[in-house]
Amino acid sequence: MFIGVIPTFAYNALTNILRGMGDSKTPAYILIVAALLNIVLDILFIKAFKMGVAGAAFATVLSQLLSFIVCMVYMKIHYSSLFIHILHLQLDKAELKKSLKIGTPAMIQQVFVSVGFMSLQFLINGFGTDCMAAYTAASKVDAFAEMPALNLGQAMTNFTAQNLGAKRKDRVLRGGKYALVMGIAVSACISAVIVMFPSVFISIFNRDTSVLDIGNSYLKIVPAFYIFFAAMQVLNGLLLGYGKSFVPMIASVCSLCCLQVPVAVILSGTKLGYNGIWIAAPIGWFGGLLIRAVYFYHVSRKENQ
């Protein structure tokens, strides 16, 4: 799996170039094909070749490698001027400095986020295997439900950067408003469905009665506040599009490590129990949203002066 980090990084680099050119469909098509290939290779390596868990890893790495190769060939044909000639690469210190200025805070952010989620998992583990299973199932539902907001935020990063480059700052704010409305509307609809039918979603992964009860409590609390998460992701995308990555990093670290985790620790020790951990999630989102909103107001005013 760690060997697969190399083609994954290369694929992400190329697809971000394509998205920067306004071609967001091709990376999606390549990813779909790679995902389907991964399924086929999983069956082949695990079932036919009897390779077990190692077979699943090989399947993933090979599909990632293929997605990189296909993406590279596509760029060579359709965007030859942007094609990366590996043997002729030269170090541009100025560009490296700019890339690190934007990328390093994002990297640090992911490290702290991982540590924060590990802390939450430690708390959840203390409530037993049923709670662990319920959280695992509910997290899978969360992952699907949050995709529209996450991808909208990523789209806003490219949209903002493109329009700033084209000297169309007016479109950035207009696009941001539409994205905010779209994100909140879609998230509200998703929230309504999940909150009304939590058992349906948990039972997809686990039908144990105790697990269903705990999973239901999660899906009745956390999804009700998806609108905070959606607004936070849109603002995050706008700030990254402006090239402002330091404050989003601070917002993520503060909202998770300085707000959500401490609140979860305190509330889980009360009569709320594991429900205290679920309540802490939207509190953390609201904190992250507030920091980003204040900073974006400052940035947008400065950029439009």
Beta carbons of 282 and 224 less than 8 angstroms apart: yes
Distance CA 68, CA 72 (A): 6
Confidence band for 276, pLDDT divided at 50, 70 and 90: very high
Q: Is 3 a residue whose pLDDT tops 90? A: no
d(CA 110, CA 106): 6
Is the per-residue pLDDT at 8 higher than 80? yes
Q: Which residue has the higher pLDDT, 193 or 23?
A: 193
pLDDT reading at 142 higher than 70: yes
Please choose, from the candidates 125, 107, 102, 114, the residue with its C-alpha nearest in 3D space to the C-alpha of residue 257: 114
Q: How confident is the model at residue 171 (pLDDT cuts 50, 70, 90)?
A: very high
**Mean pLDDT, rounded, for 272-283:** 95
- pLDDT attached to residue 305: 64
**Which 3-state string (H, E, C) describes 185-241?**
HHHHHHHHHHHHCHHHHHCCCCCCHHHHHHHHHHHHHCHHHHHHHHHHHHHHHHHHH
